A and B are shown apart, each in its own frame.
Chain A
Amino acid sequence: AQTVTQSQPEMSVQEAETVTLSCTYDTSESNYYLFWYKQPPSRQMILVIRQEAYKQQNATENRFSVNFQKAAKSFSLKISDSQLGDTAMYFCAFQSGSARQLTFGSGTQLTVLP
């Protein structure tokens, strides 16, 4: 079974600064997908960024980018130029290439300070 670990329960960052959220996972599969979801106080789950394991290039989406280290099974999220609206719970998630369900980590509560 796959597991996803987020070792930072809480983090804070000053507005306009850069912050990196950590995620590690464990799998024996070679084909899979990794995701970062954001859950603001409204509790809506919002997809931030997605990475296919077969792609060596790190995914980027505006101010959000990932550092995907396949051998180390690490998938960190970097948020540049942090904004107050980035305050949310961030979940790392894994999806096997052979199954449909997402496996989530326990989350990191990010607070952006003015």
Chain B
Amino acid sequence: NAGVMQNPRHLVRRRGQEARLRCSPMKGHSHVYWYRQLPEEGLKFMVYLQKENIIDESGMPKERFSAEFPKEGPSILRIQQVVRGDSAAYFCASSRESSYNEQFFGPGTRLTVL
């Protein structure tokens, strides 16, 4: 059973470009969570999604950031017009409906903004 998959593992963007980060949850998991880890800090919650629904986006910056989890395909975290402060590791986690307190993490995507 494959774990949570994230791609790309490393992404380099220039200021003003768009970044798209993908997350495929574990098989049988219908809940996805995105977290951001700034250098030398712990992970901070961004958004929680179920298929086709955003359940909680209280941790998302108000501008430039969006997330989706379509009926088919991976969850996408999209960052428009990236700035240097967006440089961070972005982690995706997934869980089953019945066991939300068991979140399994992907390997993360390290975004570097030049």
Give the distance to chain B from A35, nearest Cβ to Cβ, in Å.
8
- Across the interface, A100 reaches (CB within 8 A) one of B31, B41, B44, B110, namely B31
Give the distance to chain A from B99, nearest Cβ to Cβ, in Å.
11
Instruction: Across the interface, name the chain A residue whose C-beta is closest to B50.
Output: A100
List B contacts of A4 (CB < 8 A).
42
B52 sits at the interface (CB 8 A)? no
Contact code string B42-62 (vs A, CB < 8 Å = 1, else 0): 111100100000011011000
- Decide: A101 and B107 in contact? CB cutoff 8 A: no
In chain A, positions 81-104 with a C-beta closer than 8 Å to chain B are 91, 95, 99-104
- Decide: B89 and A104 in contact? CB cutoff 8 A: no
Instruction: Across the interface, name the chain A residue whose C-beta is closest to B48.
Output: A100
Q: How many A-B residue pairs have CB under 8 A?
A: 55
Using C-beta atoms within 8 Å of the partner chain, give the interface range for chain B: 20 to 34
B101 sits at the interface (CB 8 A)? yes
- Decide: B108 and A102 in contact? CB cutoff 8 A: no
B100 sits at the interface (CB 8 A)? yes
- Decide: A45 and B105 in contact? CB cutoff 8 A: yes
- Decide: B43 and A45 in contact? CB cutoff 8 A: yes
Contact code string A36-59 (vs B, CB < 8 Å = 1, else 0): 010000111111001000000000
A73 to B104, CA, bound (A): 25
- Decide: B45 and A102 in contact? CB cutoff 8 A: yes
- Decide: B42 and A101 in contact? CB cutoff 8 A: no
- Decide: B56 and A99 in contact? CB cutoff 8 A: yes
- Decide: A100 and B89 in contact? CB cutoff 8 A: no
- Decide: B41 and A101 in contact? CB cutoff 8 A: no
List A contacts of B102 (CB < 8 A).
47, 50
Instruction: Across the interface, name the chain B residue whose C-beta is closest to A42.
Output: B107
Give the distance to chain B from A4, nearest Cβ to Cβ, in Å.
8
In chain B, positions 76-114 with a C-beta closer than 8 Å to chain A are 89, 91, 93, 95, 100-105, 107-108, 110
Pick 17 A–B contacts, CB within 8 A, sort by A. Answer: A42-B107, A43-B108, A44-B105, A45-B91, A45-B105, A45-B108, A47-B102, A50-B101, A100-B33, A100-B48, A100-B95, A101-B58, A101-B59, A102-B43, A102-B45, A104-B44, A106-B42
Q: Which 3 pairs of residues, A with B, have the shortest CB-CB distance? A: A104-B42, A45-B105, A101-B45
